[in-house]
Structure 1
Amino acid sequence: MINKSVGFIGSGRVTRILLGGWKRAGKLPQRIVVSDPNIDVLHTLKQQFPEITMTPNDNAQPAACDLVFAALHPPVLKDALAPLAGALKPEAIVISLTPKIPIAALTTILGGFQRIVRMNPNAPSIVNKGFNPVIFSPAIPAAEKAELLEFFEILGQCPEIQEEQLEAYAMITAMGPTYLWFQLYELLELAQSFGLSAQDAQTGIAAMVNGAVAAMFEAGLTPAQVMDLIPVKPLGEDETTIKDMYQTKLNALFKKLKS
């Protein structure tokens, strides 16, 4: 796949994440074409990835590549893709990185084009530790699917899922790091204020997070039993408030994604 041309329509965060993961693994495609209406965002991406070809305000050039990634938000995807149906090569594959819009709707937007994949990437892909669920159109033959999976798995795990599950994964695995990162960075600062070196703090926090998850899923204990393993709970009185925030905000956003 690294010998194929790759186009990105949109040069924002998700494009930077995917390119970063492939570059870190030494698997950056040989030809990468990126379009965006925001020239400043394009130049920022070009500074990080000098290999890319920029096409400001010209989506037709990335659409003419072998693999065409639609790295766009749902509200703008239809207007951006609809004019490109004629620019797509018959053997191209369109990979949508957008929630909400299913393959059937994408096919309609693209004038009947059926060689479509949907992927829900998450940020740890930038260090090849991603969890990126994927859905393939029936129009993608098995051999090409295997090639694509090999290319995607450079970024991390890439399970094939049912299309109706994608928005749930968007909430839990794609957005999930945002629920935790600010807390972990706060612990990192506190650890150093308590006298640990930056390296010792990083090592300890990484081991703690990995071990905590292993205890959840590998100890054979109920959730109550796992949480009872540690008697001192400095944030115990705030747990109900935090859980209420999860329920309120995440349920509301999930309903919006599914509407």
Structure 2
Amino acid sequence: MAHTSIGFIGGGRVTRIMLGGWQRQGHLPERIVVSDPNVENLAKLQADFPSIETALNDNRAAAAQDIVFIGLHPPAFAGALDEIKASLKPTALVVSLAPKVSIAKLSAALGTDKIARLIPNAPSIVNAGYNPVAFAAGLSAAGRAVLCEWLSILGDSPEVDEAKLEAYAILTAMGPTYLWFQLYELQAVSEAFGLTPQEVSIGLEAMVKGTVQTMTTAQLSSADVMDLIPVKPLGEDEAAIKGFYHTRLEALYAKLKS
């Protein structure tokens, strides 16, 4: 593990999250190469992670490492796969970080069965991620173990059926975005009511953890859980918010699975 080299095709948010999680635990790979068409993305990464190598508009060096993470949006895949294929080591493990593009399609395009697909989760940056992974049938147990060792630094990485990855993209990858803006507002108003930032931080974290734990372990129906608190300040808005979950998320899931 200590001598594994890692390449990132794409230097966006997910690359920053993964590097941040590894660095936080003192486990940055010995060699990291990041390619991206945006010079600002690379400059920001270089500032935060001075030991990395960067390549502007050139995927060859990143694709020549032991583990190659492809952090491109699905529309950008087609234009990059030929260049990646030409530079891959025979022993390289390729990990796609995107929904929609299947293992079968990646294997056919890259000429290898040493492939995994990962749905990354932003809390990996603080080593609290939940990153579901699916493996190609041809990827050896040793190859899986190497990848899982790196992923374990970032949090949990359960092996799941590939067909479920898009659902996990909606649940765990995008899930924090449904909550963060509300939690930051709750943080702000709580401080305005006289609590210190530290008091808010401790109380907010405990409340969120306890809220989810009540849902999953209290052995109560959803109606009974929500009835535990009689005063619901946002109750009049619940129907509209629930509607967003169905209209927005169902449409997005259908797009990811198409």
Give the structure-1-normalised TM-score: 0.98
Gaps of 5+ in 1: none
Q: Aligned letter for 1:171?
A: I
Give a deviation string over 1:131-163, Cα, whole Å, max 9, x none. Answer: 000011122111221222121111000000000
CA-atom RMSD, angstroms?
0.8
Find the counterpart in structure 2 of residue 231 from structure 1.
230
Query: Pairwise mapping of residues 135-174 of structure 1 onto structure 2 (< 5 A)?
Result: 135-174=134-173
**Counterpart check, 1:26 vs 2:26:** yes
Output the CA distance in 1 between the equivalents of 2:10 and 2:66: 16
Find the counterpart in structure 1 of residue 255 from structure 2.
256
Gaps of 5+ in 2: none
Find the counterpart in structure 2 of residue 196 from structure 1.
195
Q: Aligned letter for 1:17?
A: I
Q: Aligned letter for 2:80?
A: A
Output the CA distance in 1 between the equivalents of 2:22 and 2:239: 41
Report the secondary structure of 2:220's partner residue.
coil
Output the CA distance in 2 between the equivalents of 1:154 and 1:225: 37
Deviation at 1:85, TM superposition (A): 1.2
Report the secondary structure of 2:94's partner residue.
strand
Report the count of equivalent residues: 258
Output the CA distance in 2 between the equivalents of 1:147 and 1:39: 31
Output the CA distance in 2 between the equivalents of 1:255 and 1:82: 28
Deviation at 1:107, TM superposition (A): 1.1
- Identical aligned residues as a percent: 57
Query: Pairwise mapping of residues 1-259 of structure 1 onto structure 2 (< 5 A)?
Result: 1-110=1-110, 112-259=111-258
Output the CA distance in 1 between the equivalents of 2:100 and 2:123: 22
Deviating beyond 4 angstroms after TM superposition, the runs of 4 or more aligned structure 1 residues are none
Give a deviation string over 1:217-244, Cα, whole Å, max 9, x none. Answer: 1111000000000000001111001000
Output the CA distance in 1 between the equivalents of 2:214 and 2:206: 12
Give a deviation string over 1:96-128, Cα, whole Å, max 9, x none. Answer: 001000000001221x22111110011000000
